[in-house]
Structure 1
Amino acid sequence: MNTLTPRETVSELDKYIVGQNPAKRMVAIAMRNRWRRQQIDPALRDEIAPKNILMIGPTGVGKTEIARRLAKLAGSPFHKVEATKFTEVGYVGRDVESMVRDLMELGVQLVRQEEAEKVRVKAEKSAEERLLDLLLPASRQSEAAFYGGAQPAVPASAAEEAQSTREKLRQLWRKGALDDKQVEMDVTVPSPSVEIMAMPGMEELGSQFKDMFSKVFPQKKKARKLKVREAYDILIAEESEKLVDMDKVAESARERVEQTGILFIDEIDKICGRSSQGGSGPDVSREGVQRDLLPVVEGCVVNTKYGMVKTDHILFIAAGAFHFSKPSDLVPELQGRFPLRVELSALGKDEFLRILTEPQNSLTVQYKALLATENVNIEFPLEGLDEMASFAQKVNDETENIGARRLYTIMEKIVQDLSFEAPDRGGETVVIDRAYVRDKLKDVAEDRDLTRYIL
């Protein structure tokens, strides 16, 4: 389990997310409390439930990104769901327990990758031996056929010569001299997929039937010619699969999901009743979805194909803009299950400028790397970035406020022509200054209707 202090967690989040310090501090404390809980006597540990968090703020201010980065820092299984995808049991759609099953699947994948990494050295060694067998097949196959599978009595000199040849090939392989050479090997062909139409609320049963049918059809092998490097990667995957104990993986994954899993429920404001919005149309199961969410959030047991999963200690982070509703419009029982609430502030010009300059994965860094592949160097002086930030704030104020996502649209509009011409402009350096930005945005800046549709 991650042992970062709250201060260290906030510092790590600062590398990718600008501002929103109250939200960062709150999730950092929640993460540290998980570590603290593990240090407590088991008798008391089970009594300490996680304090679920409700993030309130407009779109594009960093709600999802905070939760995603937090899960990555903690090495926790993380799954994001849209509350609007769920329907009350009895309606056509997904039931709320499916998010726990999805989280369990992600947990199994996470643990499987970790276990595969642990046995990678042993898998690489076995894969290398199998690869050398593929590179020296002729003598081995002819001997086995002649002696009916029994091992022949090979003269010492011949055995030494074969071993010498094998070692020479090993050295050539390790130096990379054989990467482009082709070998023929048997590759597993996926078995035919069987789609099961499950009744609403019975998705898990459908999944189990699908798994059962996939095992009925045995996996087939097909001979293919591959480059040595590709064959080696396939062999490593096969050897890793042999070495990893999937029963142990499933058990470990279930433990991790139950103790450190994070479920992020976005758009939770969209399942509030219509009464608060002044509407009179049909309210299809919105309150029903809230009531179905309630037992999962407060703690229940969900049946998955890997066994029963308890949700008592899964951390739930809900988020919503709450433009047309407010947290108090949720059913009272669900409100009580999200005791920690934090409001994220809207972003303005200063925040946009920081987003373009500070994060390790900022848009400017991404576009520089993309165009560098075409040998085109682009530079972003501060004046150009300042102009982009100003324009982003202006468009958000005049049309729809979509937060930092506006920067993606503006940046793409600015570099669109350059991206198209990049293959023909190798070796050039392009400076995206204030004049360049204004030139590329002048059409949409002058026409408000065009701005509404393009940006």
Structure 2
Amino acid sequence: MSKVTCDFCGATDSPNNPVIAGDNACICKACVGAAHEIMNGGAPEDMEHLPATVQEEKVQEEIKLRTPAELKAILDDYVIGQERAKKVLSVAVYNHYKRIFRHDEIDDDTELNKSNVLLIGPTGSGKTLLAQTISKYLDVPLAIADATSLTEAGYVGDDVENVVTRLVQAADGDIEKAQRGIIFIDEVDKVARMSENRSITRDVSGEGVQQALLKIVEGSVVNVPPKGGRKHPGQDALQIDTTNILFVCGGAFDGLEDIIKKKQGANVLGFNQDKKSKKEEEKIISQVETDDLVKYGLIPELIGRLHMVATLNEITEDDMVHILTEPKNALIKQYIKLFEMDDVTLEFDKEALKELAKLAIERKTGARGLRSILEDIMLDIMYDLPKYKNKTITITKDVVKKEKEPKIA
């Protein structure tokens, strides 16, 4: 006699999960509980017992699919400038999750491939922040890896597969959630090979890393150790399918402009070299093509898997001032809140903000350099902060230059 099976999830009748048989349908205890949770607006505790279509609908609801314009609007709240890069990332993310959740809306044999992204821009221009912001508001796990720590399998350093392990950890061990996450690989330009010709010796931290990245970026089932580290016999491995994981690679690609200029016939060395303005320099980097990246040292196979390329501009002094004051988590807003906790009002005048921006530009560390400059200036003030209860502290240009004490009223 064959066992009764649930028409929703296919589970067979058992003491732990009994199946109720009706005239035309059967349903198990787990599916009844899950249906009750859904009808009452809650998420079922155990998604595994739900039919695949219901699971997908629940995950889609959690991720809250947004249009490219909505995604860009979110990025605008946190990232100043970089309009082109924000558009590229918004479209890539929208198409990626549309491909996962709406692939069955049109019934034909066309398969949609994912579009991974390459972000090229100077340090501190917002590459990592773009990926962090978009993953936070989609509520998908994000793993950030530094390509410089990766080596080819079998050598000292992190295996490339450990990047996927970090994503599983970011998803709190939920493999289904991890398989729909985003992996951001920073400093990808640091694993470029020394020349565009293939190395005849082992290049285990350069070309070898690029070769190892190919299969996981394209999409394959990889075995990863659950807690990271080296794979070894006897260790239980997790099987992760990277087909629906979006890869975003970023790098400064210092010197790429010279490669593009040479291709265009410009003189980059000697007495007659062409001096270009900052705007012209930015225009040059935006003209990057696949063969320029090959000359830089990326292998053609990897470039072919990073379909969308976006360039980020160097941050200007005006952008720095906006970064200090406008984003939702702007540094000035953070310091004002810190001072409010001690009942102290903090103010910055316009000239002080401009001087802070000027110092950050001089240090060539991009927007990330602003925090260290501010911490240095505010240290003595914050040390004595409890003394200034119910007072107003004004930071001027001279305070930033460390020529005067702040105004206290």
Q: What CA deviation, in whole Å up to 9, does each residue of 1:152-199 have, x standing for no partner? A: xxxxxxxxxxxxxxxxxxxxxxxxxxxxxxxxxxxxxxxxxxxxxxxx
Distance in 2 (alpha carbons) for counterparts of 1:347 and 1:287: 31
Give 5+ residue unaligned stretches, structure 2.
1-62, 227-236, 257-291
User: Is 1:257 the equivalent of 2:201?
Assistant: no
Question: How far apart, CA to CA, are the structure 1 residues paired with 2:385 and 2:85?
Answer: 40
Distance (whole Å) between structure 1 residues aligned to residue 176 and residue 154 of structure 2:
31
Correspondence 1:314 to 2:245: yes
CA displacement at 1:338 relative to structure 2: 0.4
The answer as to 2:401 corresponding to 1:438 is: yes
- Asked whether the 8 Å contact 1:414–1:441 carries over to 2, the reply is no
Q: Which structure carries more relative contact order (alpha carbon 8 Å, separation 6+)?
A: 1
Letter in 2 for 1:349: E
Deviation at 1:333, TM superposition (A): 0.5
Query: What is the distance in 1 between the residues matched to 2:93 and 2:203?
Result: 37
Mapped contact 2:148–2:205 kept (Cα < 8 A): no
- 1:283-338: CA deviation from partner (whole Å, max 9, x where unpaired): 54411111111111111112245842111121100000011466322111111000
| Normalised TM-score (structure 1) | 0.60
Q: Rate the CA distance shift 1:262–1:39 in 2: closer, same or farther, 3 A.
A: same
Aligned partners of 1:345, 1:285: CA distance in 2, in Å? 28
1:221 is matched with which residue? none
Distance 1:35 1:295, change over 3 A: closer
Change (3 A) 1:290 1:254: same
Is 2:71 aligned against 1:9?
yes
SS at match of 2:78: coil
Secondary structure in 2 matching 1:430: strand
1:104 to 163, 168, 183: 168
Q: Which amino acid aligns with 1:23?
A: A
| Paired residues of 2:202 and 2:208 also in contact (CA < 8 A) | no
More helix by share: 1
Q: 342-351 or 36-45, which moves further after superposition?
A: 36-45
Corresponding residue for residue 341 of structure 2: 373
Deviates more, 1:342-351 or 1:406-415: 406-415
1:217 corresponds in structure 2 to none
**For residue 404 of structure 1, what is the aligned residue in structure 2?**
367
1:62 shift after superposition: 0.3
By how many angstroms is 1:13 displaced?
A: 1.0
Counterpart selection for 2:130 from 66, 69, 73: 66
SS in 1 for 2:315: coil
| CA deviation profile, 1:101-125 (whole Å, cap 9, x unmatched) | 2212222x2xxxxxxxxxxxxxxxx
Structure-1 separation of matches of 2:97 and 2:156: 40
CA RMSD of aligned residues (A): 2.4
The CA distance in 1 between the partners of 2:341 and 2:110, in whole Å, is 53
Is 1:28 the equivalent of 2:90? yes
Provide the residue aligned with 2:380 in structure 1.
Answer: 417
Q: Report the residue type matching 1:53 in the other structure.
A: V
Could you say what secondary structure the match of 1:15 adopts? helix
Greater Cα shift, 318-327 or 43-52: 43-52
CA contact (8 A) 2:72 2:90 kept: yes
Count matched residues: 289
Q: Which has the larger radius of gyration?
A: 1
Q: 1:309 to 1:283 in 2, by over 3 A?
A: closer
How do 1:178-189 and structure 2 match up within 5 A? Answer: none
In 2, Cα distance between the equivalents of 1:14 and 1:352? 15
**What is residue 150 of structure 2 aligned with on the other side?**
86
Shift of 1:274: 2.5
> Are the equivalent residues in 2 in contact too, given 1:2–1:35 (CA < 8 A)?
no
TM-score by length of 2: 0.66
Q: 1:426 aligned to 2:346?
A: no
Contact conserved, 2:150 with 2:205, CA < 8 A, in 1? no
Structure 1 residues 419 and 440: alpha-carbon distance in aligned structure 2, compared to 1, 3 A threshold: farther
What is the aligned-residue identity percentage?
A: 38
Query: Contact 2:398–2:404 (CA<8 Å) still a contact in 1?
Result: no
Q: Secondary structure at the match of 1:8?
A: helix
Q: Which amino acid aligns with 2:178?
A: V
CA contact (8 A) 1:392 1:406 kept: yes
